[in-house]
Structure 1
Amino acid sequence: MRKTTWKRAGVALVAAGLVTGLAGCNDGAKTGAKAGDPTNASQFIKAAYEKTSAAKSAKVKMTMKMEGLGPESGTMEMSGTTGWNPAIADFTVKGSMLSAGDPDAPEQMRMLMLDGVMYMDMGEKQAAQMEGKRWMKLDLSAAAEASGDKALQKAMTGNLDQMNQDPAQQLAFLLDSPDLKHVGAEKIDGVETQHYKGTLTVEQMMKAGGTAELLSKADRDKFVETVKKMGMTGYDTEVWVNEDGYPARMNVDMKMAQGSVEIRADYTDYGTKAAVQAPPADQTVDLFKMLQDASKALDEGKGSEALQD
């Protein structure tokens, strides 16, 4: 397999991890808050959290921009259905991050996530190198451990995959912002919304306690530990809540020691059916096994051939 295919798989998984939250989920909302006065930002956002948590799925159009993060830098656009609790996804993906410098890369890719496993449609040209099988199965932890490649491990699992973009959880952390404020009423794609924004530093995340009412201690601790390891210096969130009490748009800007990640997501159709099925086994290639084979070939002094096959 080409090195660019390995790279594309790793970059795609970094992006998918950011969006679908492979390492985190929401244990469910504690009910009771009412939206009330939109200028009461905390009360309004808490009510939006509870509705969003209960919805468990939505349709989304998302744009992600990564800068200063080496090979993973670039842009990616995703559209499709995402679910949380449990985390599932069915996306069509395109953008500069997808090609990873490969002239044979498809213009767009379908990406599925189910039970902690990612499935990527690698396209017809790549299928010709994989015995006609279009789908690559990518088990996050197994593939990273088997690769023996620290750079690939970092791309696949280096904490970015644990940045949960479950919109309900994002709303919960927004409540911890010391400068959470109501910006005003605005229209988003013709829909009336209320605009809110807030910022957090890692130190503030560690000291704040608002999320304790909404998230389990394990989920909150995992999130804080992740952003510390990433060297994050700032975490800024903006959300536009529609008249039904759901986020219509959410912008998240994460500043890190070496670069930044900007995500803009437009959500619709909350509660939509998010049925995701794994591709047939006879149409998939298991990256875990391929990594094992490549590792064995490297031990035998055939590393270059293994990566190119």
Structure 2
Amino acid sequence: MSISVRTGRKRAAAAVLAAALLAGGAVGCGSEKSDEAGEDISPAAAVKKAADKTEDLTSFTFRMKGTVPEDGRVRADAAMSTKPLAMSMKMTAPDQGPEKVEMRFVGGAVYLGGGKEAAKEMDGKSWIKFDAKTMGKGGGKSAGGSVSSQAENNPADQSTLLTGSKDLKKVGSETVGGVETTRYTGTVTLDRMRELGKNEDAAAKKRHAKSIKQYEDMGIEKLTMDLWVDGEDHTKQFRARGKGDKGPLDMTITFLDYNKPVHVEAPPKNLVMDIAKEMKGLQS
């Protein structure tokens, strides 16, 4: 398989993964709903309450559509498990090429599959394997390490970033995918995100820092976020928009299910090209 084809397929996957992490699995906002005492709670309190629910998420499925800086349009259907950590995603990135790409993250490795078209260029092998441990050695930023690093993030962590919004407000009621929801909108800057991160525990700081890094890499300093929240304080749909130095971010994620079993398996070994081994062969 040529280096250009490998790079294009890796970039397509990275674009969708980055979007998942950036616009990710917010578990939402319940502004102006009633608490147990029957009293309305503020938008900020509702966002905090819903953000706390992310701790209960062990898996989720979602659909995403939009654009990301530099890589353009992306579409994907995905399922993710947090315990154990695994993800399966089928994606297209029309501005990077017509190929459909499947990504699987399992056992600490990322597998990218292009089906029969990829097999024609890789001596019958239809999957490329990126191993973070081996690809990260030797200094520099490896393609495999970059994709794996993105896959290892939990997109649900993104919901905590909205707690930093100072202008959160209710827009109104809307139906999304047959579900009655309430829509909310707000803006938040990276400076505000960094400020809030100072008060978190070590594990939360690490997750928070990874989320912020994604925006920094795109040159985005301010985000506009919209959430469509169902009656159980779960986000049914989430949209994130921002202007980066490499182009605009505008990604919408629609959640399909929560806490249902997600099983991800590595592709058969005879169909996999291991990039780490290929690179080692080239060096020798």
TM-score, normalised to structure 2, is 0.80
Distance 1:89 1:38 in 2: 38
Q: 1:166 aligns with which of 155, 168, 186?
A: 155
Corresponding residue of 1:124: 116
2:252 counterpart of 1:254: no
Q: How does 1:85-100 map to 2 (within 5 A)?
A: 86-97=84-95, 99=97
Cα deviation for residue 144 of structure 1 reads 6.2
Q: Helix, strand or coil for the counterpart of 2:200? A: helix
2:270 counterpart of 1:282: yes
Corresponding residue of 1:13: 13
Cα deviation for residue 184 of structure 1 reads 2.4
Q: Helix, strand or coil for the counterpart of 2:87? A: strand
Q: 2:45 aligns with which of 36, 43, 59?
A: 43
Q: What is the identity, as a one-letter code, of the residue corresponding to 1:89?
A: M
Cα deviation for residue 265 of structure 1 reads 0.5
Cα deviation for residue 285 of structure 1 reads 0.9
Distance 1:194 1:35 in 2: 13
- List per-residue Cα deviations over 1:34-75 (Å, max 9, x = no partner): 9736762122222322334312222211113124x2xxx221
Q: Helix, strand or coil for the counterpart of 1:127? A: helix
- List per-residue Cα deviations over 1:169-225 (Å, max 9, x = no partner): 222110011112222222212211121222112222222369738972222234345
Q: Helix, strand or coil for the counterpart of 1:132? A: coil
Distance 2:148 2:215 in 1: 8
Q: Helix, strand or coil for the counterpart of 1:269? A: strand
Q: Is 1:176–1:209's contact at 8 Å kept on the other side of the alignment?
A: no
Q: What RMSD over aligned residues (CA atoms) do the two structures have, in Å?
A: 3.6
Distance 1:119 1:158 in 2: 10
Q: Helix, strand or coil for the counterpart of 2:164? A: coil
Corresponding residue of 1:61: 63
Distance 1:234 1:58 in 2: 27
2:72 counterpart of 1:80: no
Q: Unpaired segments of 5 or more residues in structure 1? A: 26-33, 100-104, 297-309
Question: Structure 1 219/160 Cα, relative in aligned 2: closer, same or farther at 3 Å?
Answer: closer
Distance 1:83 1:254 in 2: 28
Corresponding residue of 1:137: 129
Question: Structure 1 239/38 Cα, relative in aligned 2: closer, same or farther at 3 Å?
Answer: farther
Q: What is the identity, as a one-letter code, of the residue corresponding to 1:17?
A: L
- List per-residue Cα deviations over 1:112-157 (Å, max 9, x = no partner): 1124421122221321332312111122464466797x7xx47973
Q: What is the identity, as a one-letter code, of the residue corresponding to 1:193?
A: T
% identity of equivalent residues: 23
More off after superposition, 252-261 vs 280-289: 252-261
- List per-residue Cα deviations over 1:69-98 (Å, max 9, x = no partner): 2xxx22111013123455422122123145
Cα deviation for residue 270 of structure 1 reads 0.8
Q: Is 1:172–1:214's contact at 8 Å kept on the other side of the alignment?
A: no
Q: Helix, strand or coil for the counterpart of 2:191? A: helix
Poorly superposed stretches of 4+, deviation over 6 Å: none
Q: What is the identity, as a one-letter code, of the residue corresponding to 1:139?
A: D
Q: Helix, strand or coil for the counterpart of 2:267? A: coil
Q: Is 2:34–2:41's contact at 8 Å kept on the other side of the alignment?
A: no
Q: How does 1:195-206 map to 2 (within 5 A)?
A: 195-206=183-194
Q: Is 2:13–2:103's contact at 8 Å kept on the other side of the alignment?
A: no
Corresponding residue of 2:279: 291
TM-score, normalised to structure 1, is 0.74
Would you say how many aligned residue pairs link Structure 1 and Structure 2?
Answer: 274
